Structure 1
Amino acid sequence: MNKEQLSNLSRLPEMEKIWQKTLQWQPEPQQNHLFQQLYEEILSGNSQLNLTRITEAKEFWEKHLWDSLQGIAPLAFADKLHSNVSLEKANLIDIGTGGGFPGIPVAIAVPHCHVTLLDSTAKKITFLNSLLVKLNLPNVKTLTARAEAIGQQPQHREVYDFALIRAVGSVSVCAEYALPLLKIGGIAILYRGNWTDEEQKSLSEAVKQLGGTIESIEGFQTPLSKSIRHCIYLGKRKPSPQKFPRAIGIPTQQPL
């Protein structure tokens, strides 16, 4: 996509009242500028990398920006969960980041936190590295790896305050990826669509084995399309047994 095409793109809606009403927060002008720049760069890279099927401006705002920040809102903007861990200066990891969601919007909204974008696809990480330079986000770095692998590495195991995971596998798989990476007292945020009793049972059984607990399950509607979404908050209460996460591919093939 050339500069002329980019200049003709729809601008993202600012939605100040909706931001404030739903998240008790609204972006500063510079943050809005970064959101717009992020939108344009994602669309520009989309033709080669298939980063997202969501390209219309309002839909992008709702499903990539608002949705990304809804997950952290109870901790960052309203403290509804009464967590002892603050997002300010926290160390976060976004597992399976894809096009940079939710990690990049979180890094823009909470500029003093430190975000690691994890993905196993090298081409996507290469794109994100270029994107981060253009956005000038010094609080974000990338990592090309599998969650199962870094969960067994001392430089990553039990070092993160928060783990964010969206659209990556079943809930038990997400828990096995995320909880070994968290410090004691850390929080994993699982971004989900609909939520079932079967999923809750599966997750409860998994987190017990992984040293965690289900702290909260928050259901909500997205503000424009009124889609049903859930965020599940897992607390890390004790060290994960050393056998977790299991070898690459095993969590998906043999869920807890």
Structure 2
Amino acid sequence: MNLKQFSVLLKNNNMSISSEQWDLFEKYFLTLVEWNERMNLTAITDKEQVYIKHFYDSISLSFYVSMSQINTLADIGSGAGFPSIPLKIMFPHLKISIIDSLNKRIGFLNHLTSELQLNDVKCIHGRAEELGRNQNLRDHFDLVTARAVAKLNVLNEYCLPFVKEGGSFVAMKGPNTSVEINEANNSLKQLKGSLQKVVNFQLPDHSDRNFIFIHKSGLTPKKYPRSPGIPIKKPLI
């Protein structure tokens, strides 16, 4: 994967990338591979696959969201920084909060954002169930993302408390989401969310992806999120 190839992929979706942004992605890739030797950040280390299945996949959210209308974004269970860091590289105006329960990953993300000299990125160590009750984070963000974290009826309780009234949560998923969408009906109702749309598309390697868009219509009820561990053990069904 080189700049020209990546540029063509983005151009097909009416996007362009500068040489400065490309340099940041190159540094991101090298840092990811280096740290991955010391800790498990990703099973994908081949350069072209990283660019397609991590970087491009993350950026592709912007094909369906007008990022110019988004100011604050929270990324829940971000892992190695997906989708938030690629989005930040492409849309520098974003104010990003990355939340992850594993302190080692937060260490990597702090190092990465320092290496890339990214401003307005906060890497926060903690569980979503606890941080969702933090008044500085609760009902606060224009857009909340989660990529390959949990089933939707669990994700809703992790993520919707962070979304401001009128904002959106997007669950970034692989194929075959219809069953978990049906299972999530009650959690949406309880957490003031409503299914807006599901966007299906393919990555350049023909992998299937689904983005589940959820609109938040009101403030999070006081009883949510429940205590750490409860949403995954006893999902709202």
Asked whether the two chains share a fold, i.e. TM above 0.5, the reply is yes
Which SS does the other structure have where 2:133 is aligned? coil
Query: Which SS does the other structure have where 2:25 is aligned?
Result: helix
Asked if structure 1 preserves the Cα contact closer than 8 Å seen for 2:142 and 2:168, the reply is yes
Give the alignment's TM-score, normalised by structure 2: 0.95
- Cα shift at 1:141: 1.4
Write the letter of the residue equivalent to 1:20: K
Residue 145 (1) aligns with residue 145 (2): no
In structure 2, C-alpha distance between the alignment counterparts of 1:138 and 1:196, rounded to whole Å: 35
Correspondent of 2:80 among 81, 95, 99:
99
1:111 aligns with 2:92: yes
Give the aligned partner of residue 15 of structure 1.
Answer: 6
- Preserved CA contact (<8 Å) 1:221 1:228: yes
- After superposition, give the CA deviation of every residue in 1:54-75 in whole Å (9 maximum; x if it has no partner): 1111111111011101123211
Residue in 2 that maps onto 1:3: none
Report how far residue 195 of structure 1 moved. 2.5
Q: CA deviation at 1:76?
A: 3.0
**Aligned-residue offset at 1:221:** 0.8
Paired residue type of 1:16: S
AA at the equivalent of 1:242: K
Residue 19 of structure 1 deviates from its aligned partner by 1.0
SS state at 1:62 partner = helix
Tell whether the 8 Å contact from 2:177 to 2:210 is kept in structure 1 after alignment.
no
Q: Matches of residues 1-256 of structure 1 in structure 2 within 5 Å?
A: 14-21=5-12, 23-76=13-66, 86-87=69-70, 90-223=71-204, 225-256=205-236
Aligned residue pair count: 236
Question: In the alignment, residue 7 of structure 2 is paired with which amino acid?
Answer: E
Q: What percentage of aligned pairs have identical amino acids?
A: 33
1:106-153 residue CA offsets vs partner (Å, 9 max, x unmatched): 111110010111111111111211111110001211100100001111
Measured after TM superposition, the shift of residue 203 of structure 1 is: 2.1
The question of whether the paired residues in 2 share the 8 Å contact of 1:12 and 1:61 is answered with no
Query: Per-residue deviation at 1:14?
Result: 3.8
For structure 1, the residue ranges without an aligned partner over 5 or more in a row are: 1-9, 78-84
Check conservation: 1:194, 1:228, Cα contact below 8 A: yes
| RMSD between superposed Cα atoms in Å | 1.5
